[in-house]
Amino acid sequence: MEVLRPTQAIATRNGLMTVFLALLLISMVTAQELRKGDFIPCQEMPFLMGNFAADSKVLSNFYSPNLGPYYAIGRGLASVSYPEKIDRMDRLYKKYLVKLRAIDFEGLSQECKVDYILFKRDLNENLRQSQVLRQELDSVSQWFPFSGTVYDLFKLRRRGIQPDSQKVAQDWSGILIQIDSLKKVLKDVDNLSVLVIRKATEVGNALQQTLADVHGFYNGYDPMFTWWTSKTYKYLDTSLKEYTKLFEKKQTPDKNGIVSRKPVGRDELMRLLQYQMIPYTPEDLTKIANEEFAWCEKEMLNASQELGFGNDWKAALEQVKETYVPPGKQPEAILNLYERSVNFLKKNDLITISPLTEEVWGMYMMSPERQLTNAFFTGGWDITVSYPTNTMDHEFKMMSMRGNNPNFSFATVHHELIPGHNMQFFMNARNRTYRNFDTPFWMEGWALYWELLLWDMGFPSTPEEKIGMLFWHMHRCARIIFSFNFHMGEWTPQRCIDFLVEKVGHEQKNAESEIRGPLSSNSNPLYQVGYLTGGRQFYALKEEMVDRLKMDIKEFHDKVIKLNAMPVEMIRAIMLDQKLTKDFSSDWKFYD
């Protein structure tokens, strides 16, 4: 046995002490990082919701055609819905409602009561959406009498059952004859509704995908199938594609290239507001948006006077637009704005920012095609920057540069990155991962809230920067105003564009892109409303928790961002330990 000399023994003891202190320090850091509130508060709801997500995913995949070949040949992907799939998903929703009823609601922790309420809400909404899908399919069934034949064959293909290839060829030839007849009828029909046209286009694309899946599975592997169907499939695929295009041509774009969707109407807006836990009417929110717009105009006048333009704030706005950077310099300008905003957050100790969050966000440039519907940034895991390319005409280039000047971007880089969308994505992937009750009032509301808070804290230091932040604040007000007016049938897309140009000061092309997306797609009618309305919810919650109850602001932000996505009222219910019932309904009036 080796005997240690005194100096060796002391060195060994010192080394062990160093290791011990290091381990103690690590455990202290870990304890600080893993606070009690970071852990899942119960087992029942995460287990149930996680299983539902997994079941839903595998069922959707099983009952949908293989989309791989469509990526390869560059076709658009359709949402594939048909009776068998809808019925199967409904059985899943009902099964989990039964499981939910077996849980002791009163025995749940506060957070898990919230999960119970929202999970139940969403399961019932899924059942309602299934009914809508059935009605939509019924509305176009006369145009696709052969759908059942296609999906019956797809059902066999899912288990690899060898079909009667001669009968398949006969059925497909029969469908070709049907399509030829329907094309002649369709050409003379001019009274199809927007809803029927869009659903028919969707169904046509879905049938193309399903036939491609079936053909791709058997062709070349089954000699008889290949022999009987190869030519027929090519003719059918071409014919079905042409037929689907005929529906698309029934909608004529306006002069701005916008193919307008059908307004959803006030009743549907009210239903959606209730679903999103917003206890206000469209008229209430429009009135508030107009009042907030008036506040922005007053602040614009102050900034305009600082710049020497007196009460002509639009002239001041035009000067600020001219502060754009030369082509090639926009990424550097964005990085500089990012560093300024993150340094401001750190200096004021507003939120915990993981070093990894800062390390891994990416930057990409937006294509000219995407800029037709995204004139400005988009954010998330990465920030995608809009700026002119050599392929744009001169007018488009200048409008893009003017609309993306650094003073305008000053208000939005932190919205897209940290502490906005990038941080939301980062934290959602690490906290309460079983929970994501996706809503624009949380996603866009949180990012917009930081614009409001940083304004209050004096983040903009020059009149130009103030004008940039006010421009975007006005735009968020305008989004509420034009969204409700359009969906209640009061405004056309053109009037919405004119409103953005004349009232907010948008460049024409940028205003067109802002309208083209939400008013031509079938996106959530409340998405644009979610920005400022959700931002005001978070702002009101901050006033309640921090300003009145004197909670530390950093603690507030850290707690909120770790709860994952949900209606803001439910975050409030958790933080205030509010009394909840199974059939909770919203009544939080968060606007003063």
Domain boundaries, the chain: 47-251, 268-575
For range 475-482, the mean pLDDT: 97
Give the pLDDT score at 36: 59
For range 546-550, the mean pLDDT: 93
For range 241-251, the mean pLDDT: 93
Element (H, E) at 364: strand 362-365
Is residue 176 predicted with pLDDT exceeding 70? yes
Residues 6 or more apart whose Cβ sits within 8 Å of residue 300: 313, 316, 317, 467, 470, 474
Give the pLDDT score at 449: 98
For range 158-180, the mean pLDDT: 97
**Mean pLDDT value across the chain:** 91
Between 135-149, 252-266, 544-558, the lowest mean confidence (pLDDT) is in 252-266
Helix axes 463-487, 266-275, angle to 10 degrees: 120
Spatial distance between the Cα atoms of 183 and 180, rounded to a whole number of angstroms: 5
| Helical H segments across 141-193, by residue range | 147-158, 165-187
Give the pLDDT score at 16: 57
Between 179-193, 311-325, 368-382, 502-516, the lowest mean confidence (pLDDT) is in 368-382
Cβ contact 374:515 at 8 Å: no
| Alpha-carbon radius of gyration of the chain | 28
Higher pLDDT, residue 180 or 412:
180
Is residue 529 predicted with pLDDT exceeding 70? yes
Is residue 103 predicted with pLDDT exceeding 70? yes
Q: Is-cis flag, bond preceding 419, omega within 30? A: yes
Q: Do strands 362-365 and 382-385 pair parallel, antiparallel, or not at all (unpaired)?
A: parallel
Give the pLDDT score at 226: 97
Spatial distance between the Cα atoms of 538 and 348, rounded to a whole number of angstroms: 19
